Amino acid sequence: MDTRWKPNVTVAAIIERDGRYLLIEEHTQEGLRLNNPAGHLDPGESPAEGCARETLEETARPFTPTALVGVYLSRFQRPATGEDITYVRMAFCGDIGEVQPQLKLDAGIVRTVWMTPQEIRDSADRHRSPLVLRCIEDHLAGQRFPLSVIHTDSAVADLSPLTP
């Protein structure tokens, strides 16, 4: 049995336009929740690529990461099952394009919504995690790091087995 701790690696887009932030409203096991466009990093992709993909899937808008807002560690225990999950989240800000009408939102996504920082603070009880607001607060504070602080080795894109 493998007892190694394996946190879930996720990526999130922190998207601001005209003083409002783009969130998604989604069905979860805990009910209808608000989240940044976000999801799990897939095999073979860099964190920035994963963030662009997840944002497109959840908002039907192309997204180009331009900076890292932060790296976050969070723990969640699912009330219904007691499942204990730790997340490592890399949050990016960047440039968002217009809605691509031919695309459908990912399964479970009800809608996208633009909210002011105060509206987001006021809806904290509906957030998917405490990281939703924390990432936005860090963005509002001007926290930005160059994308070059994250290095993705070329072996990541090679899905064939590595040899010693």
128 within domain boundaries:
yes
10 within domain boundaries:
no
The residue segments making up the domain with residue 88 are: 15-145
User: Is residue 1 pLDDT above 70, yes or no?
Assistant: no
87 within domain boundaries:
yes
Integer CA distances (angstroms), 62 to 15, 56, 66, in order: 12, 5, 13
Please name the residue that has the structure tokens 């922190």. 14
**Using 50, 70 and 90 to split pLDDT, how confident is the model at 104?**
very high
User: CA–CA separation, 16 vs 21, rounded Å?
Assistant: 4
Helix H or strand E segment including 137: helix 131-140
In this predicted structure, which of 10-19, 23-32, 73-82, 105-114 has the lowest mean pLDDT?
73-82
Share of the chain above pLDDT 70, in %: 95
User: Is residue 40 pLDDT above 70, yes or no?
Assistant: yes
User: CA–CA separation, 38 vs 36, rounded Å?
Assistant: 6
Q: How many domains does the chain have?
A: 1
Q: What is the pLDDT of residue 157?
A: 85
User: Is residue 162 pLDDT above 80, yes or no?
Assistant: no
75 within domain boundaries:
yes
125 within domain boundaries:
yes
CATH number of the domain that residue 44 is part of = 3.90.79.10
Assess contact for 83 and 75: CB atoms under 8 A. no
In this predicted structure, which of 44-48, 82-86, 126-130 has the lowest mean pLDDT?
82-86
For residue 30 the two structure tokens come to 């805990």
User: Is residue 164 pLDDT above 90, yes or no?
Assistant: no
- Helix/strand/coil for 48: helix
23 within domain boundaries:
yes
**Using 50, 70 and 90 to split pLDDT, how confident is the model at 155?**
confident
6 within domain boundaries:
no
User: Is residue 2 pLDDT above 80, yes or no?
Assistant: no
Q: What is the pLDDT of residue 4?
A: 85
72 within domain boundaries:
yes
For range 1-8, the mean pLDDT = 82
Q: What is the mean pLDDT of the chain?
A: 94
